């Protein structure tokens, strides 16, 4: 079948009714066909989606202008892709996509993307990880145990990432992904490493006292959906407040111990301001702002800026008042 020739109507009708959720993408990166099962999952109308309206976030190799270029990377590695799909209502559908080549007329003409929807963190694994965390003295001990466990059992490198810590390609890609999909679905990022594309999986979760972002890499490109859901459960357990597991005082209780100035700083952190911007709003230096942040973290029992933002959002009325007062000042 020459590239660009339409599918046989009878074959297309059969695929629409019988096939698993899947897409056919041609070598020009155009979506040629979506099965009926996929259309029903996403609530699609008759028109075919483009990559920018379908995949969230769209990973792109360095120098690429289209997210479909990433499919060639997956095809070369023979692996699966964590590519959330966008439903008609704008929400993200967590999905593991298996990518293969469809030959027609003796040459590859299409990429076949089989979509496996992910139902969320595995509930049994989540219960297990919660029980293990209860037996450990500190969150850091649980996080270290997770890294050792997945390295030994699955050959995965399981590490934690603070997306705000740096502005290199990896951190920027993770921030872009979180900005588009949040913690609703795991997703992949592609970054260049020594001139070669590097694939990393990102799984995030948040709890009442903060969020956690895990970065998962491996030598094998294939990643079963069952393993993704177990990893998702591990991150969810790590993101839960220690108080929910061990019966300690929740971090939000630390808000009452903050000084007026510390509450103003926290309010501006919740609005996404940098240390310099907070200093300008409050008429102080970034160094002083960092000291305030250190004291706030100590009082709330957290260690990351993203956790502070989550705490602040748990008391929106109080935070909004202090943010307004800071701007008026």
pTM of structure: 0.66
Tokens 């964590």 -> residue? 82
Name residues whose C-beta falls within 8 Å of residue 306's C-beta, 6 or more positions apart in sequence. 162, 163, 164, 210, 211, 213
- Chain CA centroid to CA 204, Å: 5
Q: What is the mean pLDDT of the chain?
A: 76
Average pLDDT for residues 84-88, to the nearest whole number?
Answer: 85
Res 252 pLDDT > 80? no
**Which of 16, 200, 18, 229 shows the shortest CA–CA distance to 117?**
229
Average pLDDT for residues 289-299, to the nearest whole number?
Answer: 84
Residue 285 and residue 296 in contact, taking contact as beta carbons nearer than 8 Å: no
Measured torsion, CA atoms of residues 59, 64, 67, 68, in degrees rounded to the nearest 10: -130
Residue-level pLDDT at 319: 45
Between strands 107-117 and 31-34, the pairing is unpaired
Task: Please give the backbone phi and psi of residue 150, each rounded to the nearest 5 degrees, phi first.
Answer: -70, -30
- Chain CA centroid to CA 137, Å: 28
* Domains, in order of start, for the chain: 9-58+78-117 (3.30.450.20), 123-246 (3.30.450), 251-328 (1.10.10.10)
> SS3 helix, strand, coil % of the chain, rounded to 5?
45, 20, 30
- Least reliable range by pLDDT among 5-9, 91-95, 118-122, 289-293: 5-9
Distance, in Å, from the CA atom of 147 to the CA atom of 196, rounded to the nearest integer, reads: 25
Residue 91 and residue 184 in contact, taking contact as beta carbons nearer than 8 Å: yes
Pick the more confident residue, 83 or 203.
203
Pick the more confident residue, 56 or 130.
130
Res 121 pLDDT > 90? yes
What are the tokens at 277? 């911007």
Beta bridge partners of residue 86, listed in sequence order: 92
Average pLDDT for residues 146-160, to the nearest whole number?
Answer: 89
Per-residue pLDDT band for 122 (boundaries 50, 70, 90) equals very high
């Amino acid at each position: 079948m020459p590239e660009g020739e339409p599918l046989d109507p009878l074959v297309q009708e059969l695929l629409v009714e019988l096939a698993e959720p899947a897409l056919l993408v041609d070598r020009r990166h155009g979506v040629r066909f979506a099965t009926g099962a996929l259309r029903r999952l996403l609530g699609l109308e008759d028109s075919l989606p483009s990559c920018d309206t379908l995949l969230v976030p769209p990973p792109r190799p360095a120098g690429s202008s289209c997210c479909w270029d990433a499919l060639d990377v997956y095809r070369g590695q023979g692996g699966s892709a964590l590519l959330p799909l966008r439903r008609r209502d704008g929400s993200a559908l967590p999905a593991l996509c298996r990518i293969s080549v469809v030959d027609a007329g003796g040459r590859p003409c299409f990429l076949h993307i089989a979509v496996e929807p992910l139902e969320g963190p595995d509930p049994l694994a989540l219960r297990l990880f919660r029980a293990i965390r209860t037996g450990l003295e500190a969150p850091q001990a649980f996080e270290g145990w997770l890294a050792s466990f997945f390295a030994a059992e699955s050959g995965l490198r399981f590490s934690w990432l603070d997306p705000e810590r740096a502005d290199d390609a990896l951190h920027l890609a993770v921030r872009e992904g979180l900005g588009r999909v949040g913690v609703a679905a795991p997703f992949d990022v592609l970054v260049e490493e020594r001139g070669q594309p590097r694939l990393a999986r990102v799984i995030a979760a948040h709890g009442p006292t903060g969020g956690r972002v895990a970065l998962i890499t491996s030598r094998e490109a294939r990643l079963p959906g069952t393993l993704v859901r177990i990893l998702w459960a591990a991150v969810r357990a790590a993101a839960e407040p220690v108080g929910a597991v061990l019966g300690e005082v929740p971090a939000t209780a630390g808000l009452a111990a903050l000084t007026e100035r510390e509450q103003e700083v926290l309010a501006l952190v919740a609005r996404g301001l940098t240390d310099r911007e907070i200093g300008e709003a409050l008429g102080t230096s970034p160094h002083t702002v960092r000291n305030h942040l250190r004291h706030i973290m100590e009082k709330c029992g957290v260690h990351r800026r993203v956790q502070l933002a989550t705490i602040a959002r748990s008391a929106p009325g109080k935070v909004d008042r202090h943010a307004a007062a800071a701007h008026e000042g």
